[in-house]
Structure 1
């Protein structure tokens, strides 16, 4: 098989601020795998999580190693390809791009969309959240109004907290946003590890009183050992994101959390994402899907598995000025994959 890639700089319509900083653009790598006159597409998105940061240069280095190591195989030789990838040990974003491209290729080979290939029911897909980043109370309210104006059918909102200015700033922003919530809105919180244990306990109680659904990554990864104590005191379900990359991270933490956030770029692709879903469910945990600065390609890929998720946050492509692909579409607030073979994506003309 022939593997090629190109870099495209994606620009956000509205910069997104979280506890770790602000991002307005992303240099994503787009992969093509060609064999038997069929082309499969994948995407690798850089992301920053402390010592597990993956830059565009890191991804390019891994992709070059992958191309050298697996190009001799056919896309149907998945077992030997997986073993080779384990030996190469590329960064997870690069592996995700290859894995997604292989699945896209397979779906096109058999003429089925991936959700149908896996026997899933699209009608079980729930609403996807749109994100309001850390901002002033006025700025946050303006952002949610723009979301409501652009997508009047949206039914789920994720709010980024963990402000460097402290929980007083978080509370002020959330209180202002409450005036913008609609009766049917599902509200969730993501602190991106921006709180101490004491702050997380305070905020969990405060937010539960304001009808928040769940709390994501309240503590930094370095405080994983405190998750159990927080769970005992929190009236809200605790989901982890940065603390969970693959299925191997689930078992050590399963007693101290309520669910996990799966992202393609952390997991290394759809193959591991499926493994994480089944592991989490076997442990009695909830499953949510998230994204980084992904285009429609990556979010459409994860949307193929969305019937198996309890919560969805696949909105990054909705905030792009130059989205290079079309694919899954919003229908009544739900990101719905189509009936085209493979991912069902197409380059924007």
Structure 2
């Protein structure tokens, strides 16, 4: 099989601020795998969690270093390719790009969309949330109105963990709730709270109709999740504390759910394992994204019938997304009937 690798840059319509900083532009990596006249597409996007930093440059260099060795494989050799990628210490985002491209190739070879190959029901896909980043109360309200006008958003994810403290969080959240009184709202602190602040905020947010709280504590403080869960009236989900299925057993007694992202997990293959592992531990499942284009978000949309909550909105905030794929219908991101991922390029 032949492998082609290139980068593309995407710009956000609205810069996104979380507890760790602001992102307005990213350069992602596009992978093409060709065999038998069929081309499969995959994407890697950079991200950083603590000391875990997967930059565009490191992802690109890793893929370029293994591309010659991968050419001996067939796209049918997905298990062997995955083990080779792990042994070669490829960053998880690089593995994700390869794995998604292999799945896309297989679907195109079979002439079927992935959701149909997996026997999934698109009618079970729940609406995706759209994200309101940390900002002033006035700016946050403006962002809510932008989303409502754009896709009639009814599910919001509000980023909290403001470095200025929980009073700033409360002021911004109160403004968002007033602007969207009927919306379902979850909160993501991106590890921006201490244990004591997390307890206070979970109690306060429960009074304001929040559905769940995501990553209230910094990664590395997983021991404190247990006393938080015991005191919190809201379900606790983790994102930065959970990369793959192997992380779940040690988290299962202290959280209610986990956030699966392609770039953390290493692709659709590990995402499936993570879903089943979470279910076996009686945990709920949500899907999330980084600065992913329609390519990566469409890939996860094929598995979306298996998720309880979805946060696949990053491509909706891009002014120059080079791909088209899954579309928004009644707030739900639905994959189409085209073979493989069902992705086209402008």
**Aligned residue runs from structure 1 range 216-295, under 5 A:** 216-295=214-293
After TM superposition, give the deviation of residue 68 of structure 1 in Å: 2.8
Give the distance between the partners of 1:66 and 1:285, measured in 2 at CA.
Answer: 36
Matched, 1:171 2:148: no
Contact 1:69/1:84 (<8 A) preserved: no
Structure 2: which 5+ runs fail to align? none
Q: Return the TM-score normalized by structure 1.
A: 0.98
Question: Counterpart of 2:57?
Answer: 57
Question: Counterpart of 1:79?
Answer: 79
Q: Which stretch of the first structure deviates more once superposed, 304-313 or 221-230?
A: 221-230
Question: Counterpart of 1:341?
Answer: 339
**Aligned residue runs from structure 1 range 306-321, under 5 A:** 306-321=304-319
Give the distance between the partners of 1:92 and 1:69, measured in 2 at CA.
Answer: 18
Question: Counterpart of 2:130?
Answer: 130
User: Could you list the per-position Cα deviations for residues 106-157 of structure 1 after superposition, in whole angstroms to 9, with x for gaps in the alignment?
Assistant: 00000000000000000000000000000000000000000001112x2210
Matched, 1:47 2:47: yes
Contact 1:65/1:88 (<8 A) preserved: no
User: Could you list the per-position Cα deviations for residues 163-211 of structure 1 after superposition, in whole angstroms to 9, with x for gaps in the alignment?
Assistant: 000000000001111111142x210000000000000000000000001
Residue from 178, 195, 199 that aligns with 1:197: 195
Contact 2:78/2:99 (<8 A) preserved: no
**Aligned residue runs from structure 1 range 147-186, under 5 A:** 147-152=147-152, 154-183=153-182, 185-186=183-184
Give the distance between the partners of 1:119 and 1:310, measured in 2 at CA.
Answer: 18
Give the distance between the partners of 1:340 and 1:125, measured in 2 at CA.
Answer: 18
Give the distance between the partners of 2:227 and 2:87, measured in 1 at CA.
Answer: 38
Question: Counterpart of 1:104?
Answer: 104
Give the distance between the partners of 2:298 and 2:133, measured in 1 at CA.
Answer: 23
Question: Counterpart of 1:88?
Answer: 88
User: Could you list the per-position Cα deviations for residues 291-314 of structure 1 after superposition, in whole angstroms to 9, with x for gaps in the alignment?
Assistant: 000000000000000000000000
Matched, 1:303 2:301: yes
Contact 1:69/1:88 (<8 A) preserved: no
After TM superposition, give the deviation of residue 330 of structure 1 in Å: 0.2
After TM superposition, give the deviation of residue 3 of structure 1 in Å: 0.6
Question: Counterpart of 1:141?
Answer: 141
Q: Secondary structure at the match of 1:222?
A: coil
Give the distance between the partners of 2:330 and 2:41, measured in 1 at CA.
Answer: 27
RMSD: 0.7
Q: Return the TM-score normalized by structure 2.
A: 0.99
After TM superposition, give the deviation of residue 228 of structure 1 in Å: 0.3
